[in-house]
Structure 1
Amino acid sequence: MEALSREQIKAFIDDMLEKTESIGELISVLQRSALSIVIFSENFADSSWCLDEVATISQIMEEFGHRVLPIFYKVDPSDVSEDCGSYAATIKLKYGASNFPEDRKRWMGALKAVANCTGHTSQEIKIDSELVKVIVSDVLKRLVHMSPRVKSDMLIGMDARICEVEKLLALNVNDFRIIGLWGMGGVGKTTLARACYQRFTSSTKGTKRQFVRNIHQTCEKENGMVGIVQELYSALLSEDNISYEDLDVSYRRDRLSRLKLFLVFDDVENFSELEHLLLGDLLNTFNLFALGSRIIVTTRNRRVLENARANIYYVEGLHSQESLQLFGIHAFRQYLPPDDWMRLSAVAISYCKGSPLAIKVLGGTLYCRDKSYWESFLCELQKIPKPEIHDVLRRSYDELGIVEKRLFLDTACFLHRQRKNIVMKYFSIGYQCANYVLEDLIGKSLLICVSSEDYENIEVHDLLREMAWNIVNEELELANRSRLNNVDDIRKILTIRKVKTEGISLDLFKANEMYLEATTFEGMTSLRFLCFVYFAEEHGIRKVHLPSGGLDMLPDSLRWLLWDGFPSKSLPSRFSPENLVLLAIRPSPFIERCWEVQPKLVNLVELHLSDCINLTDVPDLSSSPNLEYLYLRGCKSLIELPSHIQDLNKLITLDLGDCINLRSLPAKLSSKFLEHVYLSNCPMFIRCPEINSRLLHLDLMETPVTVLPGAIFNVKQGSILRLCGKHITSFPAISANLNLFRLCHTIIREMESYDEDHLASSELLLPRFVQLELVDNPQLKSLSMNIWTMVSQTLVLDDCPLIESLPEVSQPVNGSTELQIFKCGNLESFPAGINNLRSLQALYFCATDITSLPACIQELDQLSLLDLSLSKSLELVPSAIHKLAKLSSLYLTGCSMIQSLPELPPNLILLDVSGCKLLQALPSNLGKLRWKYLCFDDCPRLDKNLPEEMVENFPIHATLYLHPRGDLQYSGNEIPDSCVMVRLPLPNSSKQPIKGIAFGVVCSSDVWIDWLDIKCDCNIDTLTAASWSSHGLHLDGTASEDNVYLWYDENLLVETKQRILEEAEIWYVKYAGLTVTFRFYFEAEKEDVKKLKSTKIKRVTGAGGTAKGCRKASATA
């Protein structure tokens, strides 16, 4: 042990284990160890413990390839392993009784297995000290050989991915497998393959291994593939210079079939390369090598793996934290960037979008550069991409055919994140092979197909999209450039009469006012894609202006026309839209009808005219057999739909929500594919059409239909159904399992109940819902006795004033996680047997007439939230509530009869007792809990002296817990004196670094509004360095006293127009050494709503100490 320790080898000796401990502890130790040293001595076989140990080591060695070094000390190896040896004799003599036969067999097998491993004997090295040196030297060599040669940066993000690959490898299964690592260039396929190779080949005894690198690049050279194959199989067969032809000799094939191999074929880009590597024998690949062999193939082309019948693992990019760590290593030579470089680092990794290659290249480029260089480099990065990144990605593009290149550029430049079916249709006009080519581009990792619940989207990685635009911009002459998205370029091209432009995508948010001529599009005969869109929700701003007569024409070649706020009453008459796949004019206050003379829209898949408030006519769609999506939401001037809508046999989605003057629909919708029908807020609409399909989503909210469509009784499993209307008199007999069923504003009186015998005899299917919402049903008196069986997760009962009781939970129910009861004023008690809702996590019983909680509530051991707000008859919270170990949030807002609180649960972090006007006593453990939010607002009888230690040290306690923000509110007019305003310290200049900011305000009691925001700006001279908001503060107009509000925040963030910079550098580090002032103010709909009497700021330090020099700051509303 001492000799091993001197060499920094961590060793574990078996006498550290108590003999009474189970062998399982030994297995755990062995699995964590790289190597076992077994010392066989003269008396070894006398100990059953030693024999059990060696049997366990043998088992781990056989199953997991565990390495063993046997040492024979004063015994001959034959004494250990042979049946006539001294060990066998001792075992037979000592354990010869009939109750040891299985043990004897197991022990002897283990002794033979371990003794046959290569080791050392004291007969060869007679001096003990020399033997120890030899053993230590051997151990060192073995450990070096076993250790993976993987650089530290390669391991970032690898562990989880290696585990997934390990599942596919299934090394404990005795079969042959090919595992494919598939993904775009630079995503880390080779890195992952190398990490797997190093990790798993070190534990696969008797397996030959080879890592064949850069196969595709080598194959492009003359005789490249021949050289790879010859070198590979020469190494595997341990023969020199085997020629390609020699590999067809039968005896060599026989030798290969007995070899157990672990191979990595890196960068295989086509099927013929893999075919050559496997000696052209793909049909018999699974017989080419011995069972137990594994081959890992890395490729950008999924088809290679599918043809090889491989198990495929898709290699995704790094997530944000992994990216930050890898970037830190290359840019700063440490695992994370320093705090004051975090903002710029976040910009860099945002550009990389998880690509390890890009992260490494950018990190290496920025290493040891100053901030001014970083800022200018990152600003120019998208204009001048790094060739090390661009070239790797470009290789995939350069190997495409002409049609593949055109489809890829269109998709990357214009069709990113569009539905797959509409992209297919877009390309099918002009390319008969479009479907095949698109699938091929997906297989080559240039496009990604992302599935959602309703459809599949085509996406393109941001680096590939950037590469696509760089390729397009190589077309130097603007008039000949095929695709445009630059605002200045588009402005110029719209003034040129003859151009070859095929696609224009303009973000109107970035553009200034543009005035087009009637003839602007005359010379654009190749234009297929035209998109004027507000990517940043600024629909109310009109940026593009047309002459009073509108446009003279649009190109007939257009397949995609998306124009937000189209500024004309109709589309031009000189436009034949037969090629249009998508037409979207949303929203436009100008357009009244799409065409004066209705054209044939034979290829149209999506028509989007939402919020065209003056639209009176829907285009003639009778010749649109391919229409799948029809959006007319918010078309307030639309009165009726043409009858031919019923004959759209491929329709999937129909959205007519908020068409407030729509009076009728066709009697029937024939499409068997119809899944989504939105008819909410159509007050003039009284009859729903019959629907032939099985719906996923039907929304009739605020629509007074008198007769429900038969389709609601035939909805698909997992659908969403919302029904609303005073003409609904009974609970619909739905038999499907729905994700959500919402029923509101009905005159239903009761839900029918069924006993088990009735259900069985009538073969009725009980409706089942993941979430059932019964909202504003003023005549509903009772729920079904089967309600707890019908709802699998969430039951919501809101504003049903006649409900007096809930059905008993007679049997244990697993799965129901939320029960939400609101504004049921006559409900006096919890359901009997509520403890049978064993999975309940959130319980809301608000604005009811309950007077107490049942004792059995303590059995809801999964409950994390309990909300009893506005239960004005509730007098007592039971003491057993402290047994709810998982309860973290307790709301007792407005429970005006409660006088005291019992001991609180140990993990409670949020307590709100505001408006508990009779509350006098607080629980004894209040000051001991780790609070995130406490509110004692408007509790006039509560002892003003809250636990002093809790108030004084609120900000200090806040930094000790895991919550980035904390709030405390209570009645009073004084802020604790431990508050200070100081100059921000310089980095590393203080032993007590800032951990956050705590601040408070006192608000006067004269309230004129219920809700407002208290805001704070942190100003460095004229610059707002950070800001904070209370995000809605409830103020009680009936409160008679001032209130104190205390907050803690570990890092106030600046809110930008686009988003909050979540990874921005900490502002009080960035502006170290400068003086900061804090300005408090209100934001509310009314002015002068409330006075801020005083404010204070406290710097919270790492040591939790109280700084000197307190200062009070004034503020006015």
Structure 2
Amino acid sequence: MAAAPPSFYHPGSSSSSSYSGKWEYDVFLCFRGADTRHGFTGHLRAALHDRQIKAFIDDMLDKTESIDELISVLKRSALSVVIFSEKFADSSWCLDEVATISRSMVEFGHRVLPVFYKVYSSDVSEDSGSYTAAIEQHHGSSASPEDRKRWMDALKVVANCAGYTSHAIKIDSELVEKIVNGVLKRLAEISHRVKFDHLVGMDARVSEVEQLLAMNVDDFRIIGLWGMGGIGKTTLATACYQSFVSSGKEMKHHFIQNINEKLEKQSGIEGMVHELYSILLSEANLNCHNLGIDHRRERLSRLRVFLVLDNVETVPQLEQLLLGDKQAANLFGPGSRIIVTTRNRRVLENAGAHIYEVKHLHSHESLQLFGIHAFKNCLPLDDYVDLSSVAVSYCKGSPLAIKVLGCALLNKQRSYWKSFLSELEKNPKLEILDVLRRSYNELEIVKKGVFLDIACFFPGVLKSLVINCFPTSYIEDLIDKSLVSCVFSKGVERIEVHDLLREMAWVIVNEESKFENRSRFKNADDVYKLLAVGDVKTLRRFNYLNIMKSKEKHGSAFEPVRTTEGILLNLSEATDIHMEANAFERMTSLRFLKFTYWENDRRASKVRVPYGGLVTLPNSLKWLEWHKFPSKSLPSRFSPENLVVLNLRTSPLLKRCWKAEPQLLNLVGLDLSRCINLEAVPNLSGSPKLERLYLEGCKRLIELPSHVQDLDKLIELDLDDCTNLQILPPKLNSKFLNKVHLSNCPKVTRCPEINSTELEVLNLTETPVTALPRAIYNIKLGGRLRLCGEHITRFPAISTSLEFFRLCHTTITEMDCYDGDDHHQLASLPRFARLVLIGNPQLKSLSSNVWNMVSQTLILEDCPLIESLPEISQPGTGLTSLSIRGCWKLKSFPTDINNLKYLQFLDFVDTDIESLPLDIVELDQLSHLELRSNKSLEFVPSNIHKLAKLSYLSLAGCSRIKYLPELPPNLLTLDVSGCTLLRALPSNIGKLRCKKLWFEDCPQLDPYLPQEVVLNFCNHAMSNLYPQGVLQYSASEIPRWFAFKSPNYASDSCMMGQLTLPNCTTTRLIKGIAFGVVCSSDIGQVMISITCNCNIGTGVAASWSSPVFCFGKTQSDNVYIWYEKNLLGETEESMREEAEPWYVRYAGLTVLFRFSLQPGEVDEGKREDPKRLKRIKIKRTGVSLLY
């Protein structure tokens, strides 16, 4: 699946960084660049990055900026690491930094970790030390006595903190490791102390949830947090997530916020599922379209994950998020934990979750929380205790209501309190919304309007855009009153509004006046009345009657001006709407117009306008978002001077925005993505505020105007897939430019010079620039870079640490990392968390330092001239995944592979290796070993059973392997399909508790062996942790022990079978059900799934679907068997809470099982052609109950 396009709404998934909840940065790194930047500090920066610790480097500060800016950064950082070196005191800037850090320790409790590198602490802190001498020597005449004293006092304070010294730990690498571990420990301590700040009662609730989580138990668990809206489910889930992250457990983890709301903006859940897969598999920056879905699910099934799914409201949402396809069980490995928040208890019951009911706060907790927000203290002031008790009683223990009410009463007199609370007392049926409404009522009229606008139209929108629509002070006031919140994620801030407050806002709007004078609309029927042709005429007649009445009363006529201020409509869920050309003519107050579609909705526009288009749009518009805009240009009578955001993405008719060139002085965001007929970009020379320019997929666009280079506030530029783009500005001068997307632009041969020091992403994939821009050397620490093309002949000499670097389809012959200088220090070598080298046909060798350059993932694919890999001479730096594919001349593993001690995933696919090294068994973290299609491989080491954590082993297509030794005891998946010389399965095959076994096309195996293996497989099924298992082998018969076996018959993708249900007793409980199918095919490989419906009369009692599998690797018949522990299946009837299980209700009766084939998923979002399934025949079927 292609990466999601940039958006004004959700700029990315929530960060999986370890400590992103409270601070923007984990560490502020202070050092003397001339001393250590290219040595010790370079090592430390890389090591911090490798451990996902986000550091702010002091050389990222403009030295001309004020100390206030430094204080701001320190407040946004969890702690500071100060590296005292020999020349540190020579720099007045370094001394000023230390003084500011010392001041921050006092003023807001900032934490510091000093490092004494080649100096003693006494050199720094004592009056007789070398630092005092350096200050006198270098600053005696230039600095005032007050400054010198301030510096010395600060040095003493910081130097007296506990830290590390190079005199005690003499080897730099060991010192770096100690510092990183020390930072992690302090971050965990800090996070533990502050994570529940102002979260009353949270410690006890987190402790109760952690008991349910039972992290020391090696099973799979879903924990459901269930309760009413506003009760604190998301807050509790966040606290549990932070508690887990700060514990330092080595598990993949991720938090997806507000799933139900996000799904309202898209038609399917597939995009979210695949994004989740990518993040958990560390593929967030890969083109996952090339990765097989089955391969990814196999890898996921071996991962231990900690996942939070927030605000899941329906059963299908949870099923698809966890499973992708219905019933594709076993997605995650043993020990995985998933927390789900929901208002719908049935969602959790259907998933078999451990349910934790999030209850109201106790009365003392309510008072404490109220005191925090009403008095900025944990307890109410003495004079207000009685009124506080009355106030919290109205909130019924709802944290949201308590918080909002407390903020409303902050700094108010008793008389105000009494008046405020008396209004609440008048309502005998007071609900939570009434309490929230009372706080809203206290706002000034203007601020009420701002709140309604934000709550109705802007949840999830970038704050930088919203603050250009309203006065900043108003937004900050709403944040202070807890009516609006600001969430920091992935380097940007977004505006969020609690769903109860959003619900309240629309209630207020719908109650404010009659339809014809309502200010905001989102209901489809109401929008139709407002804009559709027939209803426009009706409204005009209504207005005409009002005019006549006014004329009779006042003696003169006036035509009312419509009071509509905002319209929001998701057209993907609406029917077609036909508008008149002047539909908006009277809406002179309209400020926000948003006609949107789901992101993957490919249907034509549902809005119909006359051939000539609209006559006008209101000049009052600040936000115009109209996806699939149905005209060639915007109306000529529309003056867009007030526009802050213009979003006309996916408009197929649009050729240019305006025929004239209006001034766009207030424009901050412009999105014309996938306007396939767009011929010209609007004149933006008069748009000094523009921050985001999205032009992705504008196929006819030839030129990006030169004035774009002067947009000095530009943050993001997206030109991906502009296939006719040829002319670009020579430079991009914005110093804030953060992301430049320029992939798949085949006519672009030169990339503009980028002068930004904030660049994090540069994507030039499939764009044949003739020379690499200097910008690739300016990418920020932790940035991402993609380069592609035959013009690249040398490996770029990048000296910074990148999160991701992809280099594909080049003509490089070697990884020449030294740029001609064989004496570079390691700190100057490239450093990558993930390095991907794909399709480089002339690459003959990797750098001898490659194992030190890559810290997490190394992928090498389709590099056919690679014959060997560099020796791994010393323990690796944390490499967890190594994938070598399509390197046909590679004959052996790298020497001393056991030095990659953290390796978990190892793929050697389609190479020429002949054997595995014996020391592979020393990789005690290895869980995945993929050796598919190695035609020369003959032996597997006899001691491979020592790989205790190995859960996946594939030898598919290794056609020279004859025997398998004893296999690891915790193996869950074994694939030996296509091992045509294999004569026997391993001796311990009957003891393995595998959930997936494939051994089709193994003609040398004993033909009776599969019967025994299948029986053991199903016997183990009931004691396995997994709800589902699959097995496939070459044969023509269903195993004998199946209770029901159909007669021999060949059907086009469908077959029936009958089974009489036994009576359930306490001594003979049904624990599962097994299904068997024999199929044949003459069309080669096809991805399919098998569905089985249990029919009672004309109804369906239960339904199951097998995992997707590859069928037809050989021309012989194949048996496919899978078991299910979920006896209820997937039907509306079985979903009902009160439903009696079908196998109990129909005990003693004969039921009908109907098997059918379904197209499986080939790649993300792409399914097998259903026509191919007609060539597959179901020959036999079987069903058996498991006890």
TM above 0.5? yes
Shift of the 191–1088 alpha-carbon distance from structure 1 to 2, 3 Å rule, reads closer
Match of 2:760 in 1: 696
Distance 1:397 1:985 in 2: 61
How far apart are residue 953 of structure 1 and its match? Answer: 5.1
8 Å CA contact 1:779, 1:802 repeated in 2? yes
Match of 2:127 in 1: none
Match of 1:493 in 2: 530
- 1:578 match: secondary structure: coil
Per-residue deviation, residues 320-363 of structure 1 (Å, max 9, x unmatched): xxxxxxxxxxxxxxxxxxxxxxxxxxxxxxxxxxxxxxxxxxxx
Distance 1:462 1:550 in 2: 37
Distance 2:526 2:648 in 1: 23
How far apart are residue 963 of structure 1 and its match? Answer: 1.2
Q: Superposed, which structure 2 residues align to 1:74-93 within 5 Å?
A: none
1:750 aligns with 2:814: yes
Counterpart pick for 1:398 among 441, 448, 455:
441
- 1:300 match: secondary structure: helix
Match of 2:975 in 1: 912
- 1:879 match: secondary structure: coil
Match of 1:685 in 2: 748
The answer to which of 546-555 and 576-585 deviates more is: 576-585
How far apart are residue 647 of structure 1 and its match? Answer: 0.8
Match of 2:794 in 1: 730
8 Å CA contact 2:375, 2:381 repeated in 1? no
How far apart are residue 463 of structure 1 and its match? Answer: 1.9
How far apart are residue 159 of structure 1 and its match? Answer: 3.4
How far apart are residue 451 of structure 1 and its match? Answer: 1.9
8 Å CA contact 1:955, 1:1100 repeated in 2? no
Counterpart pick for 2:609 among 546, 553, 561:
546
Distance 1:771 1:850 in 2: 24
Counterpart pick for 1:1092 among 1177, 1180, 1183:
1177
1:407 aligns with 2:450: yes
Shift of the 958–702 alpha-carbon distance from structure 1 to 2, 3 Å rule, reads same
Match of 2:403 in 1: 300
- 1:493 match: secondary structure: helix
Distance 1:593 1:1055 in 2: 50
Distance 1:533 1:817 in 2: 42
Match of 1:997 in 2: 1073
Distance 2:400 2:621 in 1: 43
Shift of the 548–1020 alpha-carbon distance from structure 1 to 2, 3 Å rule, reads farther
Match of 1:974 in 2: 1037
Distance 1:931 1:386 in 2: 58
8 Å CA contact 2:1092, 2:1153 repeated in 1? no
8 Å CA contact 2:725, 2:748 repeated in 1? yes
Distance 1:869 1:576 in 2: 63
8 Å CA contact 1:986, 1:1073 repeated in 2? no
- 2:727 match: secondary structure: coil
Counterpart pick for 1:268 among 337, 349, 371:
371
8 Å CA contact 2:1080, 2:1118 repeated in 1? yes
Distance 2:704 2:529 in 1: 41
Q: Superposed, which structure 2 residues align to 1:861-940 within 5 Å?
A: 861-940=924-1003
Distance 1:656 1:996 in 2: 53
How far apart are residue 755 of structure 1 and its match? Answer: 13
Distance 2:673 2:1128 in 1: 36
How far apart are residue 954 of structure 1 and its match? Answer: 3.5
Per-residue deviation, residues 1047-1095 of structure 1 (Å, max 9, x unmatched): 1233389889xxx999886988268635453231243424465433434
8 Å CA contact 1:1008, 1:1090 repeated in 2? no
Match of 1:419 in 2: 462
8 Å CA contact 1:909, 1:930 repeated in 2? yes
Shift of the 1033–725 alpha-carbon distance from structure 1 to 2, 3 Å rule, reads same
8 Å CA contact 1:724, 1:743 repeated in 2? yes
1:451 aligns with 2:466: no
**Paired AA for residue 739 in structure 1:** E
Shift of the 513–419 alpha-carbon distance from structure 1 to 2, 3 Å rule, reads same
Match of 1:533 in 2: 596
Match of 2:475 in 1: 438
1:1007 aligns with 2:1083: yes
Shift of the 821–660 alpha-carbon distance from structure 1 to 2, 3 Å rule, reads same
Q: Superposed, which structure 2 residues align to 1:176-187 within 5 Å?
A: 186-187=231-232
| Unaligned runs of at least 5 residues, structure 2 | 1-199, 211-227, 238-363, 385-398, 412-427, 541-560, 1045-1056, 1160-1167
How far apart are residue 806 of structure 1 and its match? Answer: 0.5
| Unaligned runs of at least 5 residues, structure 1 | 1-153, 165-182, 193-260, 282-295, 309-384, 428-433, 1105-1117
Shift of the 526–752 alpha-carbon distance from structure 1 to 2, 3 Å rule, reads same
Shift of the 687–386 alpha-carbon distance from structure 1 to 2, 3 Å rule, reads farther
Distance 1:655 1:648 in 2: 14
**Paired AA for residue 886 in structure 1:** K
Shift of the 724–605 alpha-carbon distance from structure 1 to 2, 3 Å rule, reads same
Match of 1:616 in 2: 679
How far apart are residue 278 of structure 1 and its match? Answer: 5.4
The answer to which of 1043-1052 and 611-620 deviates more is: 1043-1052
**Paired AA for residue 839 in structure 1:** Y
How far apart are residue 986 of structure 1 and its match? Answer: 11
Indicate the structure whose relative CO is greater, using CA pairs within 8 Å and at least 6 residues apart.
2
Match of 1:645 in 2: 708
8 Å CA contact 2:796, 2:817 repeated in 1? no
1:719 aligns with 2:783: yes
The answer to which of 470-479 and 677-686 deviates more is: 470-479
Shift of the 992–1097 alpha-carbon distance from structure 1 to 2, 3 Å rule, reads farther
Distance 2:987 2:1126 in 1: 32
Distance 1:1090 1:275 in 2: 72
Shift of the 266–674 alpha-carbon distance from structure 1 to 2, 3 Å rule, reads closer
Distance 1:875 1:306 in 2: 78
8 Å CA contact 1:754, 1:786 repeated in 2? no
- 2:1022 match: secondary structure: helix
8 Å CA contact 1:1007, 1:1089 repeated in 2? no
- 2:893 match: secondary structure: coil
Counterpart pick for 1:389 among 422, 426, 432:
432
Counterpart pick for 1:510 among 559, 563, 573:
573
- 1:268 match: secondary structure: helix
Counterpart pick for 1:816 among 868, 879, 882:
879
Distance 2:562 2:780 in 1: 50
- 2:661 match: secondary structure: coil
**Paired AA for residue 1121 in structure 2:** L
- 1:677 match: secondary structure: strand
8 Å CA contact 1:269, 1:301 repeated in 2? no
Match of 1:859 in 2: 922
Match of 1:160 in 2: 206
Q: Superposed, which structure 2 residues align to 1:570-585 within 5 Å?
A: 570-585=633-648
How far apart are residue 875 of structure 1 and its match? Answer: 0.1
Distance 1:895 1:1068 in 2: 49
Match of 1:835 in 2: 898
Distance 1:276 1:576 in 2: 54
Match of 1:46 in 2: none
**Paired AA for residue 462 in structure 2:** R
How far apart are residue 759 of structure 1 and its match? Answer: 4.4
Shift of the 1052–869 alpha-carbon distance from structure 1 to 2, 3 Å rule, reads farther
Counterpart pick for 1:632 among 695, 717, 729:
695
Per-residue deviation, residues 232-255 of structure 1 (Å, max 9, x unmatched): xxxxxxxxxxxxxxxxxxxxxxxx
**Paired AA for residue 493 in structure 2:** E
Shift of the 493–920 alpha-carbon distance from structure 1 to 2, 3 Å rule, reads same
Shift of the 273–686 alpha-carbon distance from structure 1 to 2, 3 Å rule, reads closer
Distance 1:960 1:1067 in 2: 26
Shift of the 474–447 alpha-carbon distance from structure 1 to 2, 3 Å rule, reads same
8 Å CA contact 2:863, 2:886 repeated in 1? yes
How far apart are residue 927 of structure 1 and its match? Answer: 1.2
8 Å CA contact 2:459, 2:497 repeated in 1? yes
RMSD between aligned residues? 3.7
How far apart are residue 855 of structure 1 and its match? Answer: 0.4
How far apart are residue 449 of structure 1 and its match? Answer: 2.0
How far apart are residue 585 of structure 1 and its match? Answer: 1.0
Q: Superposed, which structure 2 residues align to 1:232-311 within 5 Å?
A: 265-268=368-371, 277=380, 300=403
Distance 2:482 2:598 in 1: 27
Distance 2:519 2:1137 in 1: 41
Distance 2:409 2:838 in 1: 52
Match of 1:367 in 2: none
Match of 2:1122 in 1: 1047
- 1:590 match: secondary structure: coil
